[in-house]
Structure 1
């Protein structure tokens, strides 16, 4: 069993949320009443994820996408009220870390995706240095890179092929980072991996020759939260379980 404030301090020290300008609050978003013995991690604090955590008898839920975002109506009504009410009815604590969890050098989403793809970063790019770039390594062709991404993430990526060049440098940023494509090109990438694609990136890939792989927002971001939660659990001698709530986006 661990004290909530000890866990909170540990997470704040580990992830350094004060170093980021983010779209919502990082850290403890809903304070429950349960002593912490078991942590459940997930990607998004959806009702399905909360219910799965309840079924697992979690005391604390740690996610990447929390409940509160800049510019949203913060009244606890509708879907937001349902989620908060479910958490509070079961006395469960909710922690959420967004950009700090993307960025962590070992446990974050970018680090964990790179690990699964056999990519090691030697540089950063984009807003707040959130994009990662490094040698292509064993993925010298777009076909090899797309195959590795598909196998690692268990879904077929959407591929914009560029000009078919050999890959020397690969850039990546998990989630909805399609807006970083230009910065990845400027950083010297031959291919860019992220979760989503929008209309402008199709033209940029055609006109610059840089390949683009959209591998799924959820799929690329399902590794950071369990890595952090497992680290916390190991430090405090707690149980940990990751719940996967499928999402095609």
Structure 2
């Protein structure tokens, strides 16, 4: 097998492409999407990961990356502004090693092909995933209709097998049948009511809050929390692979596991 020639791309070119490809200017978010920390001008190797934690940055330095692309970056609304402690160490690592940090939150969740929701459907082999309407941004909740009823236990086993981890929380009746499934990767438990109103039999997300359990029980919809990190590993990988193919970059996904 021939090894692909690795090429260089200008940081500004990559930033402009991602802005257009992920339509970042059209989505209101809780953080800045795009280049969050500027590093070297030219990029040859990119590392992708779910969250820009210290371990991911250090491992990116170890493999001589020029840029780190993540789903969860920095500078969230309500985040403390002083640069000290953990924030100082993270920024210091990026700046000392001239590493670029790109972060894409909601734009990566909702992208119709490479987004977290679309990639979870691909992982699970769910047929014809569609957008659950009247929820903004479009694509933040998706749904599918299975070709036949499955037991709730069957779907739970499939999900645990494909994600490689146990469910965080499961709320359902033992004999409940599943045909229509809605999902929102990450922290989307608040959308359970919309899924119930859309006559879905099961709602899947990453996290669970105390009211979610009661919503599931009282509305007769099964609920799975499968892990925020676990459900959002796939969009950023797909984006990295896409950039590697388009620009000839060297790409490596680094999974810093989290039980949350």
TM class, shorter-length = over 0.9
| Equivalence for 1:209 | 220
Q: Secondary structure at the match of 2:42?
A: coil
Name the CA distance, whole Å, in 2 between partners of 1:68 and 1:137.
43
Contact kept? 1:163, 1:211, Cα under 8 Å? no
Q: Secondary structure at the match of 2:30?
A: coil
TM-score by length of 1: 0.96
| Equivalence for 2:204 | 193
CA RMSD of aligned residues (A): 1.4
1:70 is displaced (CA, Å) by: 0.6
Q: Secondary structure at the match of 2:31?
A: coil
In structure 2, list runs of 5 or more residues that go unmatched. 1-7
TM-score by length of 2: 0.92
- Match for 1:47 among 33, 48, 54? 54
1:163 is displaced (CA, Å) by: 7.2
- Match for 2:97 among 73, 78, 90? 90
Which stretch of structure 1 is more off in the superposition, 83-92 or 30-39?
30-39
In structure 1, list runs of 5 or more residues that go unmatched. none
Name the CA distance, whole Å, in 1 between partners of 2:237 and 2:116.
10
Which stretch of structure 1 is more off in the superposition, 33-42 or 145-154?
33-42
Name the CA distance, whole Å, in 2 between partners of 1:123 and 1:216.
21
2:140 matched to 1:128?
Answer: no
- Match for 2:38 among 28, 31, 37? 31
Name the CA distance, whole Å, in 1 between partners of 2:255 and 2:41.
23
- Match for 2:119 among 93, 99, 112? 112
**Aligned residues, how many?**
249
Q: Secondary structure at the match of 2:252?
A: strand
In the TM superposition, structure 1's runs of 4+ consecutive aligned residues that sit over 6 Å from their partners are none
2:79 matched to 1:72?
Answer: yes
